Amino acid sequence: MSQPLVSIVIPFKNTDTFINECISSILNQTYRNWEAIFIDDNSKDKSYKIVENISKIDFRVKLYRNNGNGIIDALRTAYKHSSGSYITRMDSDDLMTSTRLETMVISLENTGKKHIAIGQVKYFRADGLSDGFARYEKWLNKLTLEGNNYTEIYKECVIPSPCWMLHREDFDACGGFNSETYPEDYDLVFRFYKAKYKCIPCDKVLLHWRDYSTRTSRTHEHYAENSFLDLKVDYFLELNYNEARPLAIWGAGTKGKNLAKILLKQNIPFYWICDNPKKIGKHIYDQKLFNFDYLSQLTNPQSIVTVANTQAQQEITSYFKTQKMISMVDYFFFC
């Protein structure tokens, strides 16, 4: 029985330090019927030459110049040259485990369309990981183990951009790389969520995710925190907000204030609650802050929580349970 073709789209820019390792991890896949479409986004180093040399040896490695500028144009260029039944993405500084493609293809063949194959991840860094990345890895893998990724989609990007695969028809149906919105990986995940594609649980590490100080996600303005919050609010208002219900913001820290400004700008009415006695009763942006238990006085409210502290989040979740409120229906954690 023939194996369906998998198209791996790989934009790159100035990653000559890592790109050879990335390609090697693809060449070592147990699944053999793939095409790796590398798109050079105006590199100034030796990246292009490295890929070019390998493409002359293995026809499955394909190389093109970006038709435009930036990662979205590069992804579109790659997709235009792809022909696989399955689509997946890879970053040129990361590594696939040897069974990644095989595992994902089997998952999709067993479940059918309107599903997304995902995988556990392992971060690595030459000088050691920060506690933040270690926590993110643990959180992400816990969701992936059960396929419950969407349940916390408003916290962070719940599917790693270099570790998903889906049917080509499903990818096209949710807009593929056609969106102009940054961060492009988080926006794509929200469109998976909007299309109601199910995440297939996975208990295997399929991606070794490299971190370093000059990585694009750390340095480019499109990946700044304010971009994430704008994106979250836009999709919340489209997909989960019920304008017939009162909306509450829980928390008056930096993120809570930024959220309030976005909602005020869009003329979305809200109540503002917190448990900080120094802020209760005061006004910020002409909005009065109420004690958190004011929520019980509202009729069938929805709440957006902007409190980042883990212990505080657990206490807030317990409070919601006493109010018989349901996650992703009645309350949403935005951090």
Claim to verify: residue 258 and residue 167 sit in the same structural domain: no
What's the pLDDT tens digit per position in 206-239?
999 998 766 555 444 544 556 699 999 999 999 9
Among 159, 190, 223, give the residue marking a domain's end: 223
Among 164, 195, 223, give the residue marking a domain's end: 223
Claim to verify: residue 298 and residue 191 sit in the same structural domain: no
Enclosing domain of residue 163: 6-223
Q: Is 228 a domain residue?
A: no
Q: Is the pLDDT of residue 146 over 50?
A: yes
Q: Is 232 a domain residue?
A: no
Q: Is 230 a domain residue?
A: no
Claim to verify: residue 80 and residue 201 sit in the same structural domain: yes
Claim to verify: residue 193 and residue 58 sit in the same structural domain: yes
CATH value at residue 328? 3.40.50.720
Claim to verify: residue 166 and residue 216 sit in the same structural domain: yes
What's the pLDDT tens digit per position in 53-100?
999 999 999 999 999 999 999 999 999 999 999 999 999 999 999 999
List beta partners, residue 164.
118
Q: Is 206 a domain residue?
A: yes
Type of residue numbered 79: Y
Q: Is the pLDDT of residue 317 over 80?
A: yes
**Predicted model pTM:** 0.94
Q: Are 129 and 123 in contact (CB under 8 A)?
A: yes
Mean pLDDT of 261-283: 97
CATH value at residue 39? 3.90.550.10
Q: Structurally, how many domains does the chain consist of?
A: 2
Claim to verify: residue 217 and residue 246 sit in the same structural domain: no
Q: Is 235 a domain residue?
A: no
Q: Are 182 and 227 in contact (CB under 8 A)?
A: yes
Claim to verify: residue 91 and residue 121 sit in the same structural domain: yes
Residue with tokens 């292009």: 48
Claim to verify: residue 48 and residue 195 sit in the same structural domain: yes
Claim to verify: residue 251 and residue 304 sit in the same structural domain: yes
Q: Is 1 a domain residue?
A: no
Q: Is 236 a domain residue?
A: no
Claim to verify: residue 218 and residue 299 sit in the same structural domain: no
Classified as helix, coil or strand, 176 is coil
Q: Is the pLDDT of residue 166 over 70?
A: yes
197 vs 214, higher pLDDT: 197
- Nearest to 165, CA basis, from 121, 130, 119, 232: 119
Q: Is 139 a domain residue?
A: yes
Claim to verify: residue 200 and residue 313 sit in the same structural domain: no
Name the helix (H) or strand (E) containing 117: strand 115-118
Q: Are 151 and 143 in contact (CB under 8 A)?
A: yes
Claim to verify: residue 83 and residue 215 sit in the same structural domain: yes
Rounded Cα distance between 179 and 79, Å, is 13
